[in-house]
Amino acid sequence: MTALTRHRLFWPAAVLVVLLVSNLFFAPRFFSITVQDGHLYGSLIDVLRSSAPLVLVALGMTVVIATGGIDLSVGSVMAIAGAVACLMIGDLPDQGSVGGVLLAVGAAIALAVVLGLWNGVLVSVIGIQPIIATLILMVAGRGIAQLLTSGQIINVSSPPFRVIGAGYFLALPVSVLIAAAVVAIAVLLTRRSALGVLVEAVGASPTASRLAGIRARGLTIMAYVFAAVCAAVAGLIFSSNVASADSNAAGNLIELDAILAVVIGGTALTGGRFSLAGSVLGAVLISALDITTYTIGIPAETTLLFKAVVVVVLCLSQSAAFRAVVFRRRTAGAPA
Partner 1 sequence: MTERTVLEMTGIRKTFPGVVALDGVDFRLFPGEVHALMGENGAGKSTLIKVLTGVYGIDSGEIRLAGEPVRFAGPLQAQQAGVSTVYQEVNLCANLSVAENIFIGREPRRLGSIRWGEMRKRAAKLLAGLDLDLDVAAPLSSYSLAIQQMVAIARAIDISAKVLILDEPTSSLDASEVRRLFDVMRRLKDDGVAILFVSHFLDQVYEVADRMTVLRNGRLIGEHRTAELPQMQLVTKMIGKELTVLDRLDDEARTAAAPGEPVVTAKGLGRAGAIQPFDLTIRAGEIVGLAGLLGSGRTEVARLLYGADRADTGHLEVGGEPVTFRAPRTAMRHGIAFSSENRRTEGIIGELTVRENIVLALQAARGWSRPVPRRRQDELVAKYVKALDIRPADPETPVRNLSGGNQQKVLLARWLITEPRLLIVDEPTRGIDVGAKAEIQKLLVGLAGDGMAVLFVSAELEEVLRLSHKIEVLRDRRLVEEIENTGGVDADRIMQTIASGANG
State the residues that interact with partner 1 by CB under 8 A: 192-195, 197-198, 200-201, 204-205, 207-215, 219, 272-273, 330, 332-336
> Shortest Cβ distance from residue 198 to partner 1 (Å)?
5
Question: 71, 48, 61: which is closest to 180 by C-alpha?
Answer: 48
Q: Which residues contact 321 (CB under 8 A, 6 or more apart)?
A: none
Question: Looking at beta carbons only, is 168 or 274 nearer to partner 1?
Answer: 274
Q: Which of 283, 164, 178 is nearest to 230 (CA)?
A: 178
Minimum Å gap between C-beta 41 and partner 1 is 42
Integer angstrom CA distances of residue 99 from 88, 162, 174, 212, 302: 12, 14, 18, 47, 45
Q: How far is the CB of 213 from partner 1 (least distance, A)?
A: 4
The answer for residues whose C-beta is within 8 angstroms of residue 72's C-beta and 6 or more apart is 131, 134, 135, 137, 138, 255
Tell the smallest beta-carbon distance from residue 222 to partner 1 (Å).
Answer: 8
> Measured from the CB of residue 329, what is the shortest distance to partner 1 in angstroms?
11
Q: How far apart are CA 81 and CA 258, in angstroms?
A: 18
- Residue 208 vs 304, nearer CB to partner 1: 208
Shortest Å distance, C-beta 207 to partner 1: 5
E strands, 54-163, where?
A: 154-155
Nearer to partner 1, 65 or 237 (CB): 65
**Which residues is 173 bridged to in the sheet?**
168
- 289 with 50: CB under 8 angstroms? no
Sign of CA dihedral 236, 237, 241, 246: negative
Nearer to partner 1, 144 or 202 (CB): 202
Q: How far is CA 105 from the centre of its chain?
A: 19
Q: Please, which residues bridge with residue 35 across strands? A: 40
Q: Which is nearer to partner 1, 4 or 332 (CB)?
A: 332
The number of residues in the chain equals 336
Q: Alpha-carbon distance 133 to 129, whole Å?
A: 6
Closest distance between partner 1 and the C-beta of residue 187, in Å?
A: 14
Alpha helices in the chain (DSSP H): 2-6, 10-24, 43-66, 74-90, 98-124, 130-148, 159-166, 174-192, 195-204, 206-211, 216-241, 254-264, 276-295, 303-318, 320-326
Q: Which residue, 254, 219, 194, is CA-closest to 71?
A: 254
Nearer to partner 1, 29 or 191 (CB): 191
Q: Closest distance between partner 1 and the C-beta of residue 251, in Å?
A: 29
Q: Is 50 or 209 the residue whose CB approaches partner 1 more closely?
A: 209
How far apart are CB 21 and partner 1 at their closest, in Å? 33
Query: Would you say 237 or 276 has its CB closer to partner 1?
Result: 276
Q: Give 162 or 210: the residue with its C-beta nearer to partner 1.
A: 210
Pseudo-torsion of CA 228, 231, 236, 238, nearest 10°?
-160
